[in-house]
Structure 1
Amino acid sequence: MMKTLVAMFALVAAGASAQAASAVNLDQEPRTLIVTEGGNKSELSLGGGESMDFCPSGCFVTMPNGDIEALTGSETIEISGGQARIK
């Protein structure tokens, strides 16, 4: 069911406006971000080397280390060494 939820989330994000936040996992291990958008929480799982667009109209993201960041929809989250950085 979680894979279906993530796939649906990806499809919705892909069909949204061209301006959306993106995340790229430069690690070999899978990483998970918790995305809160419109009061709804979902897990965004990224496999090693995978990238994904999400959050077209602003959201909050809980990083792998537990930090919470507010995104407007134009940022890129880069995960490397288990640490997430916003670019």
Structure 2
Amino acid sequence: MDLINNLIDLINGILWGDRLGSPLLIPLLGLVGIYLTIGLYFLPWRKLIYATGLLWKGRRANLDESGDISPFQALMTALSATIGTG
């Protein structure tokens, strides 16, 4: 059990900068983001305008329909639940 605790402490120290002097986590997350962007053929950037258009289009509430929420309200609810618990 001490071996596992020491190993986790070592990894934690490397990632958060206790062992190396500067945190390794921020550049590591940046490199993973670049890798995934290239691996997905820049999909997040290619579809950004389309996604933004859908988001703003959904902000206009149809008063004729009852019981539904707009896509913007659904996004904000999901984000608040994620950020609130995270």
Same fold (TM over 0.5): no
Normalized per residue, the structure richer in strand is 1
- Structure showing greater radius of gyration is 2
User: TM-score normalized by structure 1?
Assistant: 0.24
The normalised TM-score by structure 2 is 0.24
Higher RCO (C-alpha under 8 Å, 6+ residues apart): 1
